[in-house]
Amino acid sequence: MRIVGLTGGIASGKSTVSNLFKSHGVPVVDADVVARDALKKGSGGWKKVVADFGEEILLENGEVNRPMLGQIVFSDPDKRQFLNRLLAPHISSGIFWEVVKLWLKGYKVIVLDVPLLFEAKMDKFTKPIIVVWVDPETQIKRLMGRDKSSEEDAGNRINAQMPLDVKRNKADVVIDNTGSLDDLNEQFQKVLIEVSKPLTWTQFWLSRNGALIILASVTSGVVLCIKALS
């Protein structure tokens, strides 16, 4: 199995690229979706967050008020890191089982859409790593337009993440999303060809088909040995 890492920054267009992969039949494990599940009412992550941040972050129905929690952690680096540590085990476990499900279904290529790919050290499990990049001016302009937020709030949210220029330097593939959607789609088509290339031998043996071949070979060998000794 080839596990492609996809990351970027807030308002960089990562979700757009993620949706392009989905529309072309490539399954995507979305860390944001897994994180939402990890915060559902009654879950282990929910209990930890409520215990440490208080019941004032809850809505009337008992679910976490995500915008309120976001405002708290984006303005305080220590609280943000604390929240990440609380949820990291639950999110990592959720991503792992999503990958296992896709492996069992026989997919040869999947995409891990993880905003904190480098921060969570998950980049070492993915190849290639794709970073969706925009310049800082475009990023803050798009974020303010998308969320109707002030320049200060947008800046705080952007500064809470690893700078895109740093991520770009760690990437195998960079998608420059400062242009139009047509420009983005043109770059995506090239990336899609790259990630859809035949698996390496290592990736093949780690795929479901490779594992089945190994299992069949071992089983056949055992049967032949038993027959030879009988």
**Are 73 and 83 within 8 A, CB to CB?**
yes
From the number of C-beta atoms within 10 Å of its C-beta (0-12, 13-18, 19+), residue 31 rates as buried
Report the candidate in 77, 79, 93 with the shortest Cα–Cα distance to residue 44: 93
pTM (2 decimals)?
0.83
User: C-alpha 11: how far from its chain's center?
Assistant: 15
**Are 128 and 45 within 8 A, CB to CB?**
no
Report the candidate in 71, 95, 96, 99 with the shortest Cα–Cα distance to residue 83: 71
Tens-binned pLDDT, residue by residue, of the chain (230 aa): 899 999 999 999 999 999 999 999 999 999 999 999 999 999 999 999 999 999 999 999 999 999 899 888 888 889 988 998 899 899 999 999 999 999 999 898 999 999 999 988 999 999 999 999 999 999 999 999 999 989 988 998 898 899 999 999 999 999 999 999 999 999 999 999 999 988 774 664 455 554 444 344 444 434 444 445 55
Q: ∠ CA 67-15-63 to the nearest 5 degrees?
A: 30
- What single letter denotes the amino acid at residue 54? G
